[in-house]
Structure 1
Amino acid sequence: MDLNKLQASLVDSSATKIPPVEQWDPAFCGDIDIHIKRNGDWFYNGSPIGRAALVRLFASIIKFENDKYYLVTPVEKVGICVDDVPFVITQWQRVSGVIKVKTQTDDWVLLGQNHPVELRHDAISDSFIPYVKVRRNLWGRVHQNVFYQWAQEAEITQFNGTESAVMHSGDYTFSIGSV
């Protein structure tokens, strides 16, 4: 699989920002040496992918199925390596009482029922870290800087039977950790 061929296929086939990869089921063409590191950096053949537009394009066609990540076009599906999850939540803001978060690939989502937050155990830090559902079954890990900012704003209260640091996004309430 050639990276330039994959990029050309994507440019030709994607008319919208986020293509409907869930509707595509092409034949598996093998793995490609694309690696998304834990910090959200993308690599090809061991070298950083420096073009942000190319990373955004590839991020728009990620598909997760059977516990594996793929880049998918209407005609090809190639496996990639992802250390944790493909997205990292790097920024946030509150707009009219709703929390809006941004990934390292410039995706913005509003936290709520469609984009929930869940706590996952992190073996590296042996702690629970919040993750945000970005789209489909793709998640983003909340960056440490965002987590610390949330911790300053969180309210300590009972949540699901545990004293927790809680945030509100509109009428959606979520925990960023137990106290």
Structure 2
Amino acid sequence: MPMQPPADFASLSLAEVARLAAEAKLPPVDRWNPTHCGDSEMRIAADGSWFHQGSPIARAEMVRLFATILRREPDGSHVLVTPVEKLSITVDDAPFVAVEAKLSGEGDQGRIAFRLNTDEVAVADAEHPIRIEGTADAPRPYLRVRGGMDALIARTVFYELVEQLVEGPDGRRGLWSEGAFFPFEPA
């Protein structure tokens, strides 16, 4: 069952966001192993837009529903899976985009919560790390969401995070969330 989108992410406390993330009831796609049936003719673009046969899927409810049955396979490919079907889906970059962030606390008591383009919420922690790929001139920040799938952190959200960087235990600058430190600089 798809998670209800937060009424207004900005007005939620981080404790409420963490509760919503913990309560997310997603289908057990990791336990479903039907035979591969073919191609869904769907694609998730690098900006998080969903397409079917080249046309945008305009209904946000449909995108949210499809996102609940999305799974990453061991070979890195993505599928839409139900108990009886498994269909390939093309993902240009990451299947999700973190479009909003909320920070609280200081130092190792910090917490960072994200709202995704599918209205799911996630809190960065040891199981859901933030990592920076790319180069210093063209960083590509990601948040691990679930099942080996990532959310690209939108550029505006990334810049908000960069404004809050602190020095970490190894001298690199980054952010703390749920007791884990996420460096934004290379080692």
TM-score by length of 2: 0.78
Cα deviation, residue 119, structure 1: 2.0
Asked whether the 8 Å contact 1:88–1:142 carries over to 2, the reply is yes
Listed one character per residue, the Cα deviations across residues 142-177 of structure 1 (whole Å, up to 9, x for unaligned) are 110011001111124564xxx533111131110123
Asked whether the 8 Å contact 1:115–1:132 carries over to 2, the reply is yes
Q: How many residues align?
A: 161
Kindly indicate whether structure 1 or structure 2 has the higher relative contact order, using CA contacts under 8 Å at least 6 residues apart: 2
Output aligned runs, 1:40-51, within 5 Å.
Answer: 40-51=48-59
Q: Which amino acid aligns with 1:70?
A: V
Listed one character per residue, the Cα deviations across residues 34-80 of structure 1 (whole Å, up to 9, x for unaligned) are 11000000011111101111100100111111121100000000001
Asked whether the 8 Å contact 2:40–2:88 carries over to 1, the reply is yes
Q: Do structure 1's residue 103 and structure 2's residue 122 form an aligned pair? A: no
SS at 2:157's partner residue? helix
1:141 equivalent in structure 2: 152
SS at 2:185's partner residue? strand
Cα distance 1:33–1:39, how it changes in 2: closer, same or farther (>3 A)? same
CA distance in 2, matches of 1:178, 1:164: 8
Asked whether the 8 Å contact 1:28–1:78 carries over to 2, the reply is yes
1:175 equivalent in structure 2: 183
CA distance in 1, matches of 2:119, 2:100: 10
SS at 2:112's partner residue? strand
Q: Do structure 1's residue 120 and structure 2's residue 133 form an aligned pair? A: yes
1:55 equivalent in structure 2: 63
Asked whether the 8 Å contact 1:128–1:177 carries over to 2, the reply is no
Q: Structure 2 unaligned runs (5+)?
A: 3-23
**Alignment RMSD (CA, Å):** 2.3
Q: Which amino acid aligns with 1:34?
A: M
2:43 equivalent in structure 1: 35
CA distance in 1, matches of 2:112, 2:174: 13
CA distance in 1, matches of 2:37, 2:146: 24
Q: Comparing both structures, which one devotes a greater share of its residues to strand?
A: 1
Q: Which amino acid aligns with 2:28?
A: P
Asked whether the 8 Å contact 1:129–1:176 carries over to 2, the reply is no
2:96 equivalent in structure 1: 87
1:152 equivalent in structure 2: 163
Cα deviation, residue 117, structure 1: 1.2
Q: Which amino acid aligns with 1:74?
A: P
2:141 equivalent in structure 1: 130
CA distance in 2, matches of 1:45, 1:83: 15
Q: Do structure 1's residue 164 and structure 2's residue 172 form an aligned pair? A: yes
